[in-house]
Structure 1
């Protein structure tokens, strides 16, 4: 398979893309990049599970961009909702009631587990995390926050300190009150575990030790990505999250579930915690809530924490909290996901297509050390040696070997999501079966290149 050039992309559009690239390189400061050597891809058109680059090449979007376009690109129902809302009320201050925000809050609260009945809207995931932690601190009167290594919680100051991957290193300050602990990660166990059951027992023992040694009376919250995303899509072993919930209850600590990436159908449930039958005290969301069409995030709040602020002002807010265009996009997105059974389809795609195919990759390719995931949320972990589990790229970086694999996938017309030594399979929840299979065929062939770097 080779990438295809779509004749529907006009020369005018391509020329506009070239001009955009020139202006980008002259004026745009990109996130997470050294600005000089960076050569960004230009995108001139999107539709469904396709994107078109600056040369008019059509590519299957296996990345869902930053794992947020859960309903694919340019869904007509959501585009129409944004247009209709813009014709009525483009923006209004957050102290005023507006129909779009009220309905979005109702729809989200209906789908969250337990008594997470109150919704505070933010502009995205990082500020959702910041506000969730602030709420927990004000509710408990405590300051410390426990967070796992190998996690990501956002790029703002507190959120990046809470983050447990190398992106926090340049901004890591102990004054933020964050304490990191080792996660339950079965493939690369920090506890020498040989079974998932051992990993659960040992990781929970470690976590309780951390709570005791840090002083429970000082700990406001523990925050966990239900299924860590950019850190590796390593789902928690059976019983781990239930154990976290029990420890939080034992010591009066607020349990915050970060569902910014894993929420809104990504794992085959509306929220990933539903896979583990636990209910957090606070739940952060963003990305899939409206497929990223307009920036939106938020915090779902339990009744108990809501009561703290019934007669006490919550000192926090944003000019664009529940922005009408974003909220209207959320209403339309949730409606489309419900009516088109996208959450159920995500579960089916993982069970029938992605999971079995990735297991075939593991059996076929010696470079594949591990495959894991659920729904439309999977990772392929590449190694140079299965016995030692030496990664194909070091933690916190890339490698020439990984670059070759990723380049081969792109050259064959698929836009992947890759991080460190992993290829993530994170398509839109409504990607057609045949398109998903076609994209996985491309990944399969590219893994042959990775096999060439295996040393044992």
Structure 2
């Protein structure tokens, strides 16, 4: 079949039979991706795009990294699947590599199928460990699309899905659109923490099992917390006997130039959830890294949760291959250097040239450009502007990540200086065309 025919066939099958998430089905026309390598993807006809979305901000190690592909292939030839009640070397090796990267006091990993059920099970563990029910999480957040995870989410996707009990939301720090009339990061931090304290007091501290936070809210806008905020949340949690769950599903495993985003904020949580970057999504997997104190709760008490594919050997092998390669090749260090030396400065230079960019936020290879119709009032640009910009970026050879009035700049952690400069030129031209 000719290459153009393959793209046509891909589109026809997709539109006829695939039901897409978060979409009005008749209004979408997905780009057909036939292959990828490193930071680039292409369709069957050979149209090549720099992938500055990392798909859903998960392909940290890049597309088709040979170490991960080889690990999956070798495991497939050995053993493709087992029950979670058995022991398996690939699963054990994957768990060991993960806890070796975690803070002291974490020895166990509960594997899930992805990030949503990682948060689901972390909430379950917190409730069982504390004997309390409520979970506090922030507006402007996303924690997944299962029962408790979507109820914990703070954005619009929660509202038609609120079937789980015991969820309370609060406002976190977001200085550019401060809910607290703050003008400095210090004011924003202090007032956001005061607000959280008041929510805890008003809800009744003895009813609250956990505070669930993305270390850096991702889909909600890549809002790096001001200095002292996460540490302040930790102090509040300790004061009231509340557990702290940090969601590292999007921000973990190199995305911020650190193995975990919280490492830059003087905080250690009680539970850490992960997925995406741990194996760059090559095979679905996620999990909860469990502090020893919480794990001990279930030494003699049955943990009432499980998944058929928990610690699936193909996924576990992909974790081993990915984390070993990331360490051997300095991929996390590359993400940090790229953010500090090339991508961050380049994006700030774009903002100086284009008033439509109201704010630049991020670190590592985890950045957001917030777009405004008026830089004084900070009125967000209309959805049509984002749609046109996304279309133009793709026409110029870049696959973007767009959310609300933002363009998220989130290439794989293996991105090179030259690829970043090429992408910056594409962004520059597209913003000029607006």
Q: Structure 1 regions of 5+ residues with no counterpart? A: 1-10, 394-398, 451-456
1:269 to 233, 258, 271: 258
CA-CA distance at 1:17 after TM superposition: 3.5
Residue 434 (structure 1) aligned to one of 400, 414, 418: 418
For the Cα contact (< 8 Å) 1:41–1:54, is it kept in 2? no
**Structure-1 separation of matches of 2:390 and 2:195:** 37
Give distance in 2, aligned partners of 1:306 and 1:157.
Answer: 23
Indicate if the aligned counterparts of 2:3 and 2:45 stay in contact, CA closer than 8 A.
no
Counterparts of 1:445 and 1:400, CA distance in 2: 18
- Work out the CA distance in 1 between the residues paired with 2:373 and 2:12: 39
Give the superposition deviation at 1:14. Answer: 4.5
Query: What displacement does 1:24 show?
Result: 1.4
Asked if 1:300 corresponds to 2:289, the answer is: yes
CA RMSD of aligned residues (A): 1.0
How much has 1:441 moved relative to structure 2?
0.9
Q: How does 1:377-416 map to 2 (within 5 A)?
A: 377-393=366-382, 399-416=383-400
Using the size of structure 1 for normalisation, the TM-score is 0.94
Q: Give the counterpart of 1:423 among 392, 398, 407.
A: 407
Return the alpha-carbon distance in structure 2 between the equivalents of residues 385 and 21 of structure 1.
38
| 1:26 shift after superposition | 1.1
2:60 equivalent in structure 1 = 70
Paired residue for 2:80?
A: 90
Gaps of 5+ in 2: none
Runs of 4+ in 1 over 4 A off after TM superposition: 11-14
Distance, in Å, in 1 between the alignment partners of 2:424 and 2:112 is: 35
Alpha-carbon distance in structure 2 between the residues aligned to 1:101 and 1:216: 38
The aligned counterpart of 1:200 is 189
1:280 partnered with 2:264: no
Q: Distance in 1 between matches of 2:19 and 2:392?
A: 28
Quote the residue 1:334 is aligned against. 323
Structure-1 separation of matches of 2:224 and 2:107 = 26
Q: Shift of the alpha carbon at 1:377?
A: 0.3
- Partners of 1:112 and 1:447 in 2: how far apart? 40
Residue 376 of structure 1: aligned partner:
365
Q: 2: distance between equivalents of 1:224 and 1:329?
A: 27
Is the 8 Å Cα contact of residues 14 and 56 (structure 1) preserved in structure 2?
no
Matches of residues 36-435 of structure 1 in structure 2 within 5 Å?
Answer: 36-173=26-163, 175-393=164-382, 399-435=383-419
Distance in 1, Cα, partners of 2:397 & 2:252: 28
Q: Return the alpha-carbon distance in structure 2 between the equivalents of residues 449 and 406 of structure 1.
A: 12
Conservation of the 8 A alpha-carbon contact between 1:70 and 1:288: yes
**How far apart are the structure 2 equivalents of 1:192 and 1:249?**
27
Which residue in 2 is equivalent to 1:3? Answer: none
- Could you say what secondary structure the match of 1:408 adopts? helix
